[in-house]
């Protein structure tokens, strides 16, 4: 009579226990799954950063292969690409290890990124200082020290790969790429002087070199060439303007300069005029106008221009120009011309 109620009470007790056990197992599994996901996510970040660094290292290797042929803008662009990749890697390296097994790998990754970052900054600084100041005596030693730091980062990264290969250490889903930011095995005592010499060579585009010049001179009214080859300014009024184009063919901006015009004829003392030349950006030009110079028909005029660049200038030979012209009526057989520096 009393067996059935006992079995019912037993079922009432067992079901809550089963439910409690299932919930506990579910929580443990969920917790473990979260740790696994964070580990995988972290390793993916490390791998993506390493891929970027591997590509940047390959580009940098090609760049430093011949510094005597590298343009400064190209050099700075490549170095910026490397430092950007290192900055992203540094953000990942500062993250906490998602598991105890990855503490060693996280530490090695952080150390590699620190050595690479300091070394690349030093390499860039030393090479550009060498190009800009041929008399700087410290650049060889500074470059050598920086290359040593980069190579240290390469070795630490190799140790990271070995750490990730251990059985008890989680590894990325895909294989980690090799990274060598300066894959040049030449001894540092040979490499550093060679790179400095290349950066300072005449053919190198690394040095900051403004190259200002008198590019073109003309008049208003515009002068023309007569049938006998004489440069002639048609008489349209008793004054003319002299128009001078100053250009910068270098890779950096010029300083403020000064342009001097000496203008005269055999009948009177020459007159000298000066005008300021503003800062001219790399590859740009500016126009200086000397207005309302008095002239008379039938007279030959000598025009001399002298440019003071106000600072460094790669070539001084193109900073002066002399020409002459006759003020006269234009003929039907004339063609326009300009005098180029």
- Asked if 134 contacts 197 with a C-beta cutoff of 8 angstroms, the reply is no
Question: Quick one: pLDDT at residue 282?
Answer: 87
Mean pLDDT in residue range 240-259: 93
Binning pLDDT at 50, 70 and 90, where does residue 331 land? low
Q: What is the mean pLDDT of the chain?
A: 85
Residue 206 or 330, more confident: 206
Reported as a pLDDT band with limits 50, 70 and 90, residue 330 is low
Higher-scoring residue by pLDDT: 331, 198 = 198
- pLDDT tens-digit map of 214-223: 999 999 999 9
Distance (Å) of CA 226 to CA 18, 293, 326: 112, 22, 10
- Sheet (strand 285-294) strand order: 285-294, 239-248, 212-220, 339-340
- Using alpha carbons, select from 94, 77, 91, 84 the residue that is nearest to residue 53: 84
Q: What is the pLDDT of residue 209?
A: 80
Is residue 29 pLDDT above 60, yes or no?
no
Span 285-323, pLDDT tens digits: 999 999 999 998 889 999 999 999 998 887 889 999 999
pLDDT computed for residue 132 by the predictor: 87
Q: Is the pLDDT of residue 119 over 80?
A: yes
* 7, pLDDT greater than 50: no
What is the rounded radius of gyration, in angstroms, for the C-alpha atoms of the chain? 37
Of 179, 178, 202, 206, the C-alpha closest to 64 is: 206
pLDDT at site 313:
85
CA–CA gap between residue 90 and residue 242 (Å, rounded): 59
> b or e along 109-135 (b: 16 or more beta carbons within 10 Å of the residue's beta carbon)?
bbbbbbbbbbbbbbbbebbbbbbbeee
According to the model, what pLDDT value does residue 329 have? 67
Q: Are 249 and 296 in contact (CB under 8 A)?
A: no
Instruction: Name the band, by pLDDT with cuts 50, 70 and 90, for residue 10.
Output: very low
Beta bridge partners of 335: 225
Out of 100-109, 125-134, 158-167, 230-239, least confident range: 230-239
Task: Please name every residue paired with 339 in a beta bridge, in sequence order, or none if there are none.
Answer: 217
Q: How many CB atoms lie within 10 A of CB 176?
A: 18
79-116 pLDDT, tens per residue?
Answer: 999 999 999 999 999 998 888 899 999 999 999 999 99
Q: What average pLDDT does the segment 233-241 reach?
A: 86
Q: Which domains, and CATH codes, for the chain? A: 3-199 (no CATH), 212-340 (2.60.40.10)
| Sign of the four-CA dihedral 33, 35, 40, 41 | positive
- What pLDDT score does 244 carry? 97
Residue 12 and residue 141 in contact, taking contact as beta carbons nearer than 8 Å = no
Residue 219 Cα distances to 65, 159, 222, 302, 307, angstroms: 49, 71, 5, 13, 18
% of the chain exceeding 90 in pLDDT: 56
Residue that wins the pLDDT comparison between 253 and 9: 253
- pLDDT at 163 exceeding the cut of 70: yes
Mean pLDDT calculated for residue range 47-69: 90
- 3-state helix/strand/coil string of the chain: CCHHHHHHHHHHHHHHHHHHHHHHHHHHHHHHHHHHHHHHHHHHHHHHHHHHHHHHHHHHHHHHCCHHHCEHHHHHHHHHHHHHHHHHHHHHHCCCCCCHHHHHHHHHHHHHHHHHHHHHHHHHHHHHHHHHCCCCCCHHHHHHHHHHHHHHHHHHHHHHHHHHHCCCCCCCCCCCCCCCCCCCCCCHHHHHHHHHHHHCCCCCECCCCCCEEEEEEEEECCCEECCCCCEEEECCCCEEEEEEEEEECCCCCCCCEEEEEEEEECCCCCEEEEEEECCCCCCCEEEEEEEEEECCCCCEEEEEEEEECCCCCCCCCCCEEEEEEEEECCCCCCEECCEEC
Phi, psi of 271 (to 5 degrees): -115, 140
Burial of 229 (0-12, 13-18, 19+ CB in 10 A): exposed
Whose structure tokens read 């990749």?
A: 85
At 36 the pLDDT is: 80
Contact (Cβ atoms closer than 8 angstroms) between residue 296 and residue 280: no
What's residue 62's pLDDT?
Answer: 86
pLDDT at 24 over 90: no
């Amino acid at each position: 009579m009393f067996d059935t109620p006992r079995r019912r009470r037993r079922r009432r007790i067992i079901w809550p226990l089963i439910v409690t056990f299932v919930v506990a197992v579910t929580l443990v599994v969920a917790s473990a799954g979260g740790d696994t996901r964070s580990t995988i996510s972290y390793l993916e970040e490390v791998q993506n950063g390493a891929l970027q660094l591997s590509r940047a290292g390959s580009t940098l290797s090609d760049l430093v292969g011949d510094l005597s042929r590298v343009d400064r803008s190209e050099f700075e662009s490549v170095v910026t690409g490397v430092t950007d990749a290192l900055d992203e890697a540094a953000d990942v390296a500062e993250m906490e290890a998602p598991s105890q097994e990855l503490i060693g790998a996280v530490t090695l990754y952080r150390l590699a990124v620190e050595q690479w970052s300091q070394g690349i900054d030093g390499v860039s600084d030393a090479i550009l200082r060498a190009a800009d100041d041929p008399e700087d005596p410290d650049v060889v030693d500074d470059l050598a020290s920086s290359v040593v730091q980069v190579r240290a980062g390469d070795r630490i990264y190799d140790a990271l790969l070995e750490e990730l290969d251990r059985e008890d250490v989680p590894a990325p889903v895909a294989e980690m790429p090799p990274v060598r930011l300066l894959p040049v095995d030449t001894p540092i005592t040979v490499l550093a002087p060679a790179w400095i010499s290349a950066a300072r060579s005449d053919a190198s585009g690394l040095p900051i070199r403004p190259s200002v010049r008198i590019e073109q001179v003309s008049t208003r009214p515009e002068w023309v060439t007569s049938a006998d080859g004489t440069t002639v300014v048609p008489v349209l009024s008793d004054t003319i303007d002299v128009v001078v184009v100053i250009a910068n063919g270098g890779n950096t901006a010029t300083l403020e300069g000064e342009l001097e015009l000496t203008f005269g004829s055999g009948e009177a003392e020459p007159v000298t005029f000066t005008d300021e030349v503003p800062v001219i950006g790399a590859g740009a030009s500016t126009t200086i106008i000397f207005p309302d110079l008095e002239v008379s028909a039938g007279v030959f005029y000598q025009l001399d221009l002298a440019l003071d660049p106000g600072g460094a200038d790669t070539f001084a030979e193109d900073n002066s120009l002399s020409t002459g012209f006759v003020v006269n009526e234009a003929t039907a057989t004339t063609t326009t011309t300009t005098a180029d520096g």
